[in-house]
Structure 1
């Protein structure tokens, strides 16, 4: 089985998409991440849902998780409002890293290796410079297990 056989349509965002809108897409579609495309519609990176959370969680709670416990429930439930008008560009890690992008001919093992190396639950699949869609960790594992 090849990546193109496992690919599914995936919503995309751009670097200038508001992070709140990206979070809404993640929630509405139950996605582990989003494919970020450039102006030509080519994938330039993956935005894992955890990066969106990282931007929303107050810095002091990231630095000291025990402080999250002292915030009352009413205010704790509203932490996603901290996303404000920030963009996807601001959600991405500062350090460039290997991109979880694979060719349509990639095998399941190649996809698994790429996901493991990049710590990404989603791989964008490209063929001839065109985005075919994405392969999720769930789809990969589901097709890799013995039936």
Structure 2
């Protein structure tokens, strides 16, 4: 099995899209991460939903979660306003969320190691042809977990099937 065999299409936004539209897509489609492509269709960023939420809430709340309890629900409705006028690139800059990518021949264990190291629930599978990069699809944590625990696969402790 190779990364290209595990790769599936995944919804994406572009760097120029409105941040609020990207947030809506993440919420409405129950996505674990936001896949951001640049103007050339190349992976620009992969941002876990938890990190996007972290960029929405005020810094003082994330630094001291006890303040969230004190605030109650006050200010919750204003969080979306923080996205007003921002592009996806401004909300989720590449320098903070470089996309974890693998080539089509990467083994599942390589994808898993990259996913674990980058704390990303999504890895882009790309093919390079000189300077041109083509997105083949993505491997999600759920898809990879399904592969690893598929019926008929043996654990290191169990004997091979006879």
Q: State TM-score, norm by structure 1.
A: 0.86
> What is the 5 A alignment of 1:1-147?
1-73=1-73, 75-76=75-76, 79-92=79-92, 95=95, 99-128=99-128, 129-147=133-151
Counterparts of 1:32 and 1:78, CA distance in 2:
23
C-alpha deviation, 1:78, in angstroms: 5.4
Contact 2:10 2:138 (8 Å CA) reproduced: yes
Measured in 1, the distance between the counterparts of 2:80 and 2:98 equals 28
Identify, as 1 or 2, the structure richer in helix: 1
Give ranges in structure 2 of 5+ residues lacking alignment.
Answer: 152-162
Distance 1:146 1:133, change over 3 A: closer
SS in 2 for 1:73: coil
Contact in 1 for aligned 2:46/2:98 (Cα 8 Å): no
Q: Tell me if the contact between 1:51 and 1:91 (Cα under 8 Å) persists in the aligned partners.
A: no
Compare CA radii of gyration and give the structure with the larger one: 2
Per the TM alignment, residue 122 of structure 1 is displaced from its structure 2 partner at its CA by 0.4
**CA distance 1:44–1:73, shift in 2 (3 Å):** closer
* TM-score between the two structures when normalised by the length of structure 2: 0.79
Q: How many residues align?
A: 147
Query: C-alpha deviations, 1:17-62, integer Å up to 9, x for none?
Result: 2221111111222211122111111112212212221121122211
